[in-house]
């Protein structure tokens, strides 16, 4: 076994280190691949769900009933007044006749004779939606302001429900934030540890080579190559896991997103993204190998 | 970029190696070395003696550029080690022969490979490295046919020390830094080793050897340093001339 400063020699040393212990190597690559796959899945999920926003059904809304019969008041002026209230995103007109025909289509209501009522007992109304992320207190103030507008009969707003939903979504966001940072950090640390353990610096050899005057970059080279190769293989395996998991879960997620009106961009994973992921992991492995060897030289 | 060894360039008159007010501290404790001034010329044989923990190994590590002094300057061939880049320091060490304290042979390499490694690192081809390694092992009295293929772990401590010394000599260095040189050697081998080192020194190689005071080769009551050797006493990190 010789020692030369060539890149080919460093590469064959790295190959010897990498494939010399196949069982250990399989375990380390498997563990690293699982961690990398978890990281990739979290990133992909965020990418597809971003920008994160409340689905329409979670946003606070109120029903504003107009006073008086059709033609007696200026509905356009009322709609404009509602739109000018703070925190209001939209105010859509719900015509009393349209509401009545929709009610009439419901069999349960036609059974109790609603459709036989004359004249139309329903008032004209506006469905007012508030801006996403509006605080319940601000919405309640806006609702109180609406009640004071001329020609507003009443405003139906479920204050308690939206207070609870706001509290829940705040809590959920904070828990996610709290978990995301340590989870991401522990995944990266896990991958780093696995790679460093795998590269397993030969401390004695590094010490002796340093003593004999080997160039530091030449000493680091086999470890850099071993780190890069290990994480390249782990990343390729991780990408396969992500693709397989995606194929399995995608239809379920798509239909759930549709049902709950959640933002979700279904997209096939492009090949360049996989190549970039593998390249990034490989460079990260090379960096870890270099840092571990550098630390061993300094010791 | 410089390709020639540093140490072949100094003039005969200029000190090959000098320490100017060198101090080395590890944390807040008492300094390992204090106000050390020293000049060693080309071809000198210097023995640094002192009790355990007096700073001998630290001094040799500083001279080898393996550590930087906390204060003061160490110059080799006129170059301040602290101002040299890591690659230049590595190149400088290829011109030196260093014997570290303790066992420094690599267990997964044969004795021949261990010795040839220094030659390979210095840029020799495989066969040239092996040829030099055989010559160096014969020089220190280790039977190449018998022990060359054995791993370092299979040798006795004295033989390992000889193999490590052969590795220090294999590139015919201009400066030898030898720590705990005679510690595990018996009298006959020690005498042979010192004779070889004396020849190197006479030929212009600077030798700096560290030795614990009161420690003589196994089965010997005296330390047979060459007559031309200059002995320095190091006590509590200070040189006592």
Per-residue model confidence as pLDDT tens digits over A112-133: 665 565 566 677 888 898 887 7
- Beta partners for B206? B175
Average pLDDT score over residue span A245-257: 82
Selection from B208, B117, B194 nearest residue B162 by Cα: B194
pLDDT > 90? residue B177: yes
A214 in B contact zone (CB under 8 Å): yes
Q: Do A211 and B64 touch (CB under 8 A)?
A: yes
Calpha distance B212→B36 (Å, rounded): 18
pLDDT at A184: 79
Q: Do A211 and B109 touch (CB under 8 A)?
A: no
pLDDT at B39: 92
pLDDT greater at residue A152 or residue A113: A152
> For residue A208, which residues of chain B lie inside 8 Å, CB to CB?
104, 106, 117
Cβ(B237)–Cβ(B54) below 8 Å: yes
- Which of A4, A13, A208, A219 is the best mutation test for B, with the most CBs of B within 10 A? A208
Query: What's this model's pTM, rounded to 2 decimal places?
Result: 0.65
Q: Containing H/E element for A26?
A: helix A22-49
pLDDT at A240: 92
Q: Do B86 and A214 touch (CB under 8 A)?
A: no
Q: What are A189's two structure tokens?
A: 């640390």
Q: Do B117 and A209 touch (CB under 8 A)?
A: yes
Average pLDDT taken over every residue of chain A: 81
Indicate the pairing of strand B71-76 with strand B17-24.
antiparallel
> For residue A214, which residues of chain B lie inside 8 Å, CB to CB?
90, 121
Range from A115-119, A174-178, B174-178 that averages highest in pLDDT = B174-178
Quick one: what percent of chain B has pLDDT higher than 70?
89
pLDDT at B22: 92
pLDDT at A52: 62
ipTM for the whole complex: 0.85
Calpha distance B59→B49 (Å, rounded): 11
Selection from B170, B2, B18 nearest residue B85 by Cα: B2
Q: What are A110's two structure tokens?
A: 């036609």
Instruction: Please tell me the least confidently modeled range out of A56-65, A97-106, B164-173.
Output: A97-106
Calpha distance A232→A12 (Å, rounded): 17
Q: Which residue in A211, A213, A216 is closest to B100 by CB distance?
A: A211
Q: Exposed/middle/buried for A56, CB within 10 Å: 0-12, 13-18, 19+?
A: exposed
> For residue B64, which residues of chain A lie inside 8 Å, CB to CB?
211
Calpha distance A254→B180 (Å, rounded): 73
Domain regions of chain A by residue span? 7-54+167-298, 61-156
- Which of B120, B129, B168 is the best mutation test for A, with the most CBs of A within 10 A? B120
Confidence of residue B98 (pLDDT cuts 50, 70, 90): very high
pLDDT at B74: 93
Q: What are phi and psi for residue B155, nearest 5 degrees?
A: -90, 160
Calpha distance A57→A161 (Å, rounded): 12
pLDDT > 50? residue A249: yes
pLDDT at A103: 63
> For residue A211, which residues of chain B lie inside 8 Å, CB to CB?
64, 66, 93, 98, 100, 104
Total Cβ atoms within 10 A of residue A201 = 21
> For residue B95, which residues of chain A lie inside 8 Å, CB to CB?
213
Indicate the pairing of strand B33-40 with strand B17-24.
antiparallel
Calpha distance A75→A71 (Å, rounded): 8
Closest-CA residue of A relative to B89 is A213
B121 in A contact zone (CB under 8 Å): yes
pLDDT > 90? residue B211: no
Q: Give the tens place of pLDDT for each residue, A17-35.
A: 777 778 878 888 888 888 8
Q: Give the tens place of pLDDT for each residue, B75-84.
A: 998 889 999 9
pLDDT at A2: 57
Query: Which A-chain residues 7-36 have CB contacts (< 8 A) with chain B?
Result: none
Q: Give the tens place of pLDDT for each residue, A63-80.
A: 888 886 656 678 888 889
Indicate the pairing of strand B79-80 with strand B96-99.
unpaired
pLDDT > 50? residue B1: no
CATH assignment of A61-156? Answer: 3.30.70.3040
Total Cβ atoms within 10 A of residue B190 = 23
In a 3-state reduction of DSSP, which class is residue A94?
strand
Quick one: three-class SS letters along chain B?
CCCCCHHHHCCCCCCCEEEEEEEECCCCCCCCEEEEEEEECCCCEEEEEECCCCCHHHHHHHHCCCCCCCEEEEEECCEEHHHCCHHHHHHHHCCEEEECCCCCCCCCCEHHHHHHHHHHHCCCCHHHHHHHHHHHHHHCCCCHHHHCCCEHHHCCHHHHHHHHHHHHHCCCCCEEEECCCCCCCEHHHHHHHHHHHHHHHHCCCEEEEEEECCCCCECCCCCCCCCCCEEEEEECCEEEC
Distance from CA of A220 to the nearest CA of B (A): 13
Q: Do A211 and B126 touch (CB under 8 A)?
A: no
Calpha distance B199→B202 (Å, rounded): 5
Q: Nearest 5°: CA angle at B121, between B119 and B125?
A: 60
Q: Do A204 and B106 touch (CB under 8 A)?
A: yes
pLDDT at A36: 86
A5 in B contact zone (CB under 8 Å): yes
pLDDT at B116: 94
Distance from CA of B221 to the nearest CA of A (A): 32
Confidence of residue B7 (pLDDT cuts 50, 70, 90): low
Selection from B40, B5, B38 nearest residue B19 by Cα: B38
Fold observed for domain B6-240? Rossmann fold (3.40.50)
């Amino acid at each position: 076994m010789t020692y030369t400063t060539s890149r080919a020699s460093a590469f064959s040393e790295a190959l010897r280190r990498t494939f010399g212990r196949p069982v250990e190597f399989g375990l380390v690559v498997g563990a690293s691949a699982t961690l990398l796959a978890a990281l990739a899945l979290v990133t992909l999920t965020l990418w597809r769900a971003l920008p994160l926003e409340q689905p329409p059904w979670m946003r606070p809304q109120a029903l504003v009933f107009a006073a008086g019969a059709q033609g007696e008041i200026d509905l356009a002026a009322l709609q404009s007044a509602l739109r000018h209230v703070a925190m209001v995103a939209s105010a859509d007109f719900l015509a009393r006749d349209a509401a009545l025909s929709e009610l009439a289509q419901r069999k349960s209501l036609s059974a109790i004779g609603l459709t036989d009522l004359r004249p139309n007992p329903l008032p004209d109304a506006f469905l007012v939606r508030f801006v996403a992320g509006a605080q319940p207190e601000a919405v309640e103030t806006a609702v109180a302001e609406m009640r004071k507008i001329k020609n507003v009969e009443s405003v139906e707003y479920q204050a308690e429900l939206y207070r609870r939903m706001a509290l829940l979504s705040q809590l959920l966001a904070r828990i996610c934030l709290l978990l995301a940072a340590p989870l991401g950090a522990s995944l990266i640390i896990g991958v780093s540890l696995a790679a460093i353990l795998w590269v397993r610096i030969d401390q004695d050899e590094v010490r002796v080579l340093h003593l004999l005057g080997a160039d530091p970059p030449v000493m680091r080279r086999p470890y850099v190559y071993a780190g890069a190769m290990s994480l390249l293989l782990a990343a390729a395996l991780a990408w396969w896991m992500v693709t397989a998991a995606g194929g399995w879960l995608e239809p379920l997620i798509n239909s759930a997103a549709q049902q709950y009106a959640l933002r979700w961009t279904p997209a096939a994973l492009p090949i360049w993204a996989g190549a970039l992921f593998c390249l990034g992991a490989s460079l990260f492995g090379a960096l870890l190998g270099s840092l571990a060897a550098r630390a061993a030289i300094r010791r | 970029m410089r390709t020639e060894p540093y140490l072949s360039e100094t003039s005969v008159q200029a000190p090959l190696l000098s320490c100017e007010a060198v101090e080395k501290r590890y944390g807040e404790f008492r300094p390992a070395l204090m106000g050390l001034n020293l000049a060693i010329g080309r071809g000198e044989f210097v023995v640094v003696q002192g009790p355990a923990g007096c700073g001998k190994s630290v001094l040799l590590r500083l001279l080898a550029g393996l550590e930087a002094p906390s204060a003061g300057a160490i110059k080799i061939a006129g170059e301040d080690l602290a101002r040299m880049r890591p690659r230049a320091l590595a190149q400088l060490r290829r011109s030196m022969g260093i014997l570290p304290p303790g066992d420094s042979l690599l267990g997964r390499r044969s004795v021949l490979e261990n010795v040839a490694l220094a030659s390979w690192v210095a840029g020799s081809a495989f066969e040239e490295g092996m040829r030099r390694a055989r010559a160096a092992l014969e020089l220190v009295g280790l039977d190449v046919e018998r022990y060359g293929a054995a791993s370092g772990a299979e040798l006795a401590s004295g033989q390992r020390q000889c193999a490590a010394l052969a590795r220090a000599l294999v590139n015919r260095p201009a400066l030898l830094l030898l720590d705990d040189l005679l510690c595990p050697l018996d009298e006959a081998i020690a005498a042979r080793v010192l004779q070889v080192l004396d020849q190197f020194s006479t030929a212009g190689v600077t030798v700096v050897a560290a030795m614990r005071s009161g420690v003589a080769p196994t089965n010997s009551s005296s330390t047979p340093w060459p007559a031309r050797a200059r002995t320095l006493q190091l006590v509590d990190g200070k040189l006592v001339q």
